[in-house]
Amino acid sequence: MTEEERQQLKETIIGEIAGLKVEIGRLQEEVKPVAPDRAIGRLTRMEAINAQKMSEANLRKARTRLQALEKTLPRLEEDDEFGICTRCERPIPLKRLMLMPQSRMCVRCAGR
Ligand SMILES: [Zn+2]
Q: What is the pLDDT of residue 44?
A: 81
Residue 101: the pLDDT is 83
| Cα–ligand 1 centroid distance for 65 (angstroms) | 22
Per-residue pLDDT reduced to its tens digit, 29-78: 989 887 766 656 667 888 888 989 999 999 999 999 999 999 999 988 88
CA 29: distance to chain centroid? 19
- Which is more confident, 101 or 58? 58
Compute the distance between CA of residue 40 and CA of residue 110 in angstroms, rounded to an integer.
45
R_g (Cα) of the chain, nearest Å: 19
Residue boundaries of the structural domains of the chain? 3-80
* C-alpha distance from residue 25 to each of 17, 21, 35 (Å): 12, 6, 20
pLDDT of residue 102: 80
- In the prediction, which pLDDT does 59 show? 97
What's the confidence (pLDDT) of residue 37? 63
CA of 104 to the centre of ligand 1 (A): 9
Alpha helices in 1-112 (DSSP H): 3-30, 45-78, 94-99, 107-110
SS3 91: strand
Q: How far is the CA of 84 from the centre of ligand 1 (A)?
A: 8
Between residues 81 and 23, which one has the greater pLDDT? 23
Q: Tell me if 1 sits within 8 A of 90, measured CB to CB.
A: no
